[in-house]
Every structure is written in structure tokens, then in C-alpha cells.
A and B are shown apart, each in its own frame.
Chain A
Amino acid sequence: MIKAETAKASLGAALPIMAGYMVLGIPCGILASQTGLNALQVLMMSLLFYSGAGQYMIANMWLAGIPPLSIVASVSLVNTRQMLYGASLSRFSGVGKKRLSFLFAATVTDESFGINLDRFEKGDWSLVNATLVNLFSQTSWTLANVIGVVAGAVLSIPAAVASFAMTAIFICLLFSQKATMANVVAGIAAAVGVVVCKLVGLSGPAIFIGAVFGIIMAFALSEVQKRQ
């Protein structure tokens, strides 16, 4: 049984994500309706795939006439970054608790990763708290998507404005990190990695390759600092 105070704390942590997902999710649903998807299909996507970037990519690529196999390959490559989140959060997933760990791991997103990691590191944050943050966020995303697909004919939100909500969340999470020299190097190297990848046409795996490059550079610096 989940305590009311646990649910309240998780809801408080999830609220900014939920607000962002409402703003992002409705245009995503509108876009999905333009590809011919119905409310049931969008519901399935939001519940079992649950990826803002992925769902936007599928709709945009489909509308651009890209074949299904290429869509699947590109979306899967972009989603490889989730492996980094899982690796980072594994130390907080607790002993035993396999079902809860599975539910937690299966519902991590870019935004909930940042919020939960911050709370875990501060202490006083349980796997139940973190899983509730994920589920509250997913509920908001699913609701917004279904609203978008149902009301697609009436509602109109510029996609560029809506997608900037996601960028604003990432900027906030980036600038909430500790400003150590190694973290700064991680960020700059990751940024350079993404730019280089996109310039040579590797847009699909750009996030993953850039992030891994950033981690390697920061780790190398921390090794040098440790030896001095």
C-alpha cells in the first residue's frame, strides 16, 4: 500500500514534468492524427512505447515519406541513450523488488531520469517515489496524446513552439548539475560530439555517441586529476 505522503511527494516532483508533457503531448497527438493513427493506436504508443522524441520522430518521418524500416532503425538508435540512464539509476533500484524495478526501469524518460536522480542523490527518495514520478508523468503524456489525437481537427499549436518545451526542460536539467571541471568537460565534449555526428550525417545515433564521448573525456580528466 502506498502512503499518501509518498504519493504527494512524488506528485510534487512530477508536476513540472506533467505540465511540460501536456504542452508537448497535445501537438504530438495532433501530429499522430495527421499520419492516420487513431486514438487506440496513440494510446498503445503512449503506454507501451512512451517516448516523446520517438513518437515525434515516427510521425515526422512518416509524413516525410520515409519507409517503415528506416523509421524503426532511426528511432531505435535515438533511444539507445536510455541505456545510459538505466546504468546510472541501477544503483538506486534496490535489493530484490524485481517487479517494481522492472516497472521503474520501463517507464524512465529523459525528464524523469533527471528529477529522480537528483532526488536519489539528495537521499530520502525511494524506488516507490521514483516509480510514482514515472507513472504520473506517463499518465500526463498519455492523456495529452489522446486529447491531441481526438481534438486534432480543432486544436492547433505550432510544433516548433511545443517542442521547445522539451529543450527548456533539458537546459534546466543541464544547468542544475554541479559545475565541476569534469562535468563542464562532459557537457562540452558531448555537445561537440553531437555537432560532429550531425555534420557527417549521423543524426540518428548523435545523442548516444555525443554523450558517450562526453563521458569518456570527463572520465579521462578525472583520472588525470586523481593522479595529481
Chain B
Amino acid sequence: MSWSQFLFIFAVCALTMLVCRVIPVFALKERELPESVSRGLGFIPPAAFAALVVNDLFDPEAIASGIDLYTFIPYIASLVVVIVAVKTKSLLWCIIVGLAVYAVLLLAVPAVV
């Protein structure tokens, strides 16, 4: 990637990111929001995190190219993380256990196959 290509990608992405991050905070800041709007804003976290999880796990291209044991690794590791999350509510434990399970499964699949 040349400097000019980098600067184009960097500048546009950084600018759109800054606008998306800052504008809503200042547009809604210091305003008494109606009850219905506050209620709606409360649904952002569950909706956004569910969307992020599914976006990470669901890959139609990978599924279309063929399902094998490797396809199930992220799903199995995610199920384990769900259990850890419900039990501990700890981000750190979720990362440690999740990565460990994922890595072990990656090593185990060739042995099974």
C-alpha cells in the first residue's frame, strides 16, 4: 500500500468514524429525552451485542464452500463462553476460556480427521 493510498483510506475512515462517534453524543446531550426515546435507547446494548456476535459467527461464504469439523469450532467455543459468561460475568475469564477452547479444538480437529 503506497502512502497516497494509505492516506485516502485512513482519512476517509477516520473522518466517518469520528462523525459517527461524536455527532449523536452532542446532538442528544443536555436534552430531556421523552420516556419512549429513553426506553428505545435501552434496547441498543442487547441488540448491538447480539448483532456483533452473530456477525462474527455467521459466515455464509464459509458454509457455502463446504461444512467440515472446522466449521463448528467457533460455535462450540461460543457455547462454552456463554456458560462462562452466565456463571462469572467476567470479561477476562470469557476471553481466557474462549481462546483456550478455540485453540484446543483447532489442534484436536486434525487428530479426529
Contact = CB atoms under 8 A, between A and B. Distances in A.
A64 to B, nearest CB: 12
Interface of A: 15-17, 19-20, 23, 35-37, 41, 44-45, 48-51, 54, 58, 62, 68, 71-72, 75-76, 79-91, 93, 95, 101-102, 104-108, 110-111, 113-115, 117, 158, 160-161, 163-177, 182-184, 186-191, 193-195, 198-199, 206-208, 210-215, 218-219, 222
Given A58-B9, A86-B23, A101 B29 contact: yes
Contacts of B24: 83-87, 90
A19 B92 contact: yes
Contacts of B99: 23, 161, 164-165, 168
Contact of B17 (A82, A114, A175, A187): A82
Report whether over half of chain B's contact residues are helix, strand or loop; otherwise say mixed: helix
Report whether over half of chain A's contact residues are helix, strand or loop; otherwise say mixed: helix
B72 interface: no
B25 A93 contact: yes
Given A76-B16, A222-B39, A194 B54 contact: yes
A158 B104 CA distance: 13
Interface of B: 1, 5-6, 8-10, 12-14, 16-18, 20-30, 33, 36, 38-60, 74, 77-78, 81-82, 84-86, 89-92, 94-95, 97-99, 102-103, 106
Contacts of A161: 99, 102-103, 106
Contacts of A76: 12-13, 16-17
A198 B61 CA distance: 9
Nearest to B30: A95
A49 B20 contact: no
Contact of B47 (A172, A189, A199): A189
B14 A215 contact: no
17 contacts: A16-B90, A37-B1, A41-B10, A49-B17, A51-B17, A72-B9, A75-B16, A160-B74, A164-B102, A172-B81, A173-B91, A175-B86, A182-B43, A190-B46, A194-B55, A206-B51, A219-B40
Contacts of A177: 45-46, 49
A165 B95 contact: yes
B103 to A, nearest CB: 5
A90 B31 CA distance: 9
A85 B44 CA distance: 7
Contact of B55 (A50, A72, A169, A207): A207
B47 A72 contact: no
Q: Which 3 A-B pairs have the closest CB atoms?
A: A214-B47, A86-B24, A168-B98
A211 B13 contact: no
Contact of A218 (B1, B5, B25, B46): B46
A117 B45 contact: yes
A8 B26 CA distance: 28
A108 B57 CA distance: 23
B33 to A, nearest CB: 7
A71 B57 CA distance: 21
A181 to B, nearest CB: 11
Given A172-B85, A199-B60, A191 B20 contact: no
